[in-house]
Structure 1
Amino acid sequence: MQKCEVCKNKFSWKELLLSIWSSYKPVKCSNCGKRHTISFASKFIVSFLIVVPAVIFGLLIAPGMGLTKTVTFGIIVMIAFIISMILPFFVRYEIKPKTNKA
């Protein structure tokens, strides 16, 4: 699980999950107050792990099983939800250096 880059305080699974679910909202360390933002690579991984299984199921597996569109959609949502539960173990956050806007 991800730790703060400054004080090594461990972020909770819940904090990281809520960050992912709220469009990658930055996570603030409860110990030192530093804000961590999700890395670009992690955003790609999240998108890939949600979209690819949904597309494969929706376009390849569900039609072969004869599932209705409503059932297919429900299963896709369930798949995305289950995958999102494990994402906090894989995503990486980093401290972005402040840029001076003069």
Structure 2
Amino acid sequence: MTCETCNAKFSYFKVLKSFWLGYQDIKCDHCDSTYEHKLSNRVLGGLLVMISIFVSFIIFSDKPKLVPIIGFILMSIVLSLLLPFIMKFRRLE
């Protein structure tokens, strides 16, 4: 993602941290423009959790109860690492 004002690129980890810390706004280090997550990011985050729960409990349904929970956590982390590539933001005025 790049800043609309100064064309500076936001780092992958800055976008990921914003997602992991509850959809916090992102501020450009160069021009101080602030960007917020679009609604689609929140929907993607919810789908990520639902898909992770569904898949991990189907795959590990015959295992002890702790295995599906660990599978869910690991799958959620891995899938969330892909989200910064598809997230959309809008600049706050």
- TM-score, normalized by the shorter chain, greater than 0.5: yes
Determine which of 66, 74, 84 is the counterpart of 1:88. Answer: 84
CA RMSD of aligned residues (A): 1.2
Q: Is the 8 A contact 2:60 2:68 kept in 1?
A: yes
Aligned to 1:36, what secondary structure does the other structure show? strand
Matched, 1:51 2:50: yes
Hey, what's the Cα distance between the residues in 2 that align with 1:73 and 1:62?
A: 9
Q: Is the 8 A contact 2:33 2:92 kept in 1?
A: no
Compute the displacement of 1:45 (Å). 1.3
Residue identity in the other structure for 2:44? I
Q: Which residue of 1 aligns with 2:33?
A: 34
Hey, what's the Cα distance between the residues in 2 that align with 1:90 and 1:76?
A: 21
Q: Which residue of 2 aligns with 1:69?
A: 65
Q: Which residue of 1 aligns with 2:24?
A: 25
Q: Larger C-alpha radius of gyration, 1 or 2?
A: 1
Hey, what's the Cα distance between the residues in 1 that align with 2:46 and 2:30?
A: 30
Q: Is the 8 A contact 1:50 1:84 kept in 2?
A: no
Compute the displacement of 1:70 (Å). 0.5
Hey, what's the Cα distance between the residues in 1 that align with 2:52 and 2:70?
A: 14
| Consecutive unaligned residues in structure 1, runs of 5 or more | 98-102
Compute the displacement of 1:56 (Å). 2.8
The percent identity for this pair of structures is 23
Compute the displacement of 1:96 (Å). 2.7
Hey, what's the Cα distance between the residues in 2 that align with 1:91 and 1:50?
A: 16
TM score, norm. by length of structure 2: 0.90
Q: Is the 8 A contact 1:5 1:94 kept in 2?
A: no
Hey, what's the Cα distance between the residues in 2 that align with 1:45 and 1:76?
A: 16
